Amino acid sequence: DAKTTQPPSMDCAEGRAANLPCNHSTISGNEYVYWYRQIHSQGPQYIIHGLKNNETNEMASLIITEDRKSSTLILPHATLRDTAVYYCIVRVLHNSGAGSYQLTFGKGTKLSVIP
Amino acid sequence: NAGVTQTPKFQVLKTGQSMTLQCAQDMNHEYMSWYRQDPGMGLRLIHYSVGAGITDQGEVPNGYNVSRSTTEDFPLRLLSAAPSQTSVYFCASGVGEAYYGYTFGSGTRLTVV
């Protein structure tokens, strides 16, 4: 799986949009970009994923650059409950072998939402 | 629908003791896995299973055993606990295909003294 680079920490004012960047310059054509978050020692929570088109769900939006070398997770109206560590992960599209199931977690970005 | 259930939530072991961490899911997911998370670190894969009767090693398998006799259950066994195994353990399950996210349990916090 391609490696990802994220800033270690970010702050965001409550009610404002939180934009979390991720660099994955070595991503392959068959790798998706996934985002998970972990709220204070709880189990990670799946947020969103995408291949090359922008994606939106009830939690967030995912913007992937045209060359797919970077992406941004957007929380449109951050709340205090969004304070968490956010992980950007890339993994293969198809299950061609055991390793394709694995999620490789880095250290993520610690997002602090400030009142 | 309980999702992924891990028991116990907390456990203290003495060095050399053995124990089993339980993980159960009720979503009929084919894929299950165990991760450990050490302070300030991301999660690391210990073992995983792609279906009943099929298991394989992840990144940090030493000192742990797993089995998958049913689709629902994926227990993690510590054979002889060591202080280096003090960690938070998370179980995850999923349908396997890369199109979906995995569901994680709430974790087991293990301390080995």
pLDDT on residue B4: 96
A 14-33: CB under 8 A from B? 32
Cα–chain-centroid distance for residue B97?
Answer: 20
pLDDT on residue A12: 97
d(CA B32, CA B46): 11
Share of chain A above pLDDT 70, in %: 90
pLDDT on residue B40: 76
Q: Which of B29, B45, B49, B55 to mutate to test the interface with A (most CBs of A within 10 A)?
A: B45
Nearest by CB to B42, from A87, A92, A95: name it.
A87
Under a CB-based contact definition with an 8 Å cutoff, are residues A90 and A106 in contact? Answer: no
- Across the beta sheet with A84-92, the strand order is A9-13, A109-114, A84-92, A31-38, A45-50
DSSP strand pairing (A61-64 vs A55-56): antiparallel
Share of chain B above pLDDT 90, in %: 78
pLDDT on residue B14: 97
Report, as ranges of residue numbers, the positions in chain B whose pLDDT lies below 50: none
d(CA A32, CA A92): 6
pLDDT digits (tens, 9 = 90+) for A35-84: 999 998 899 999 999 999 899 999 999 999 999 999 999 999 999 999 99
> What residues contact B39, with CB distance under 8 A and at least 6 apart?
none
**CA of B10 vs chain A CAs: smallest distance (Å):** 13
**Tell me, what amino acid is at B53?**
G
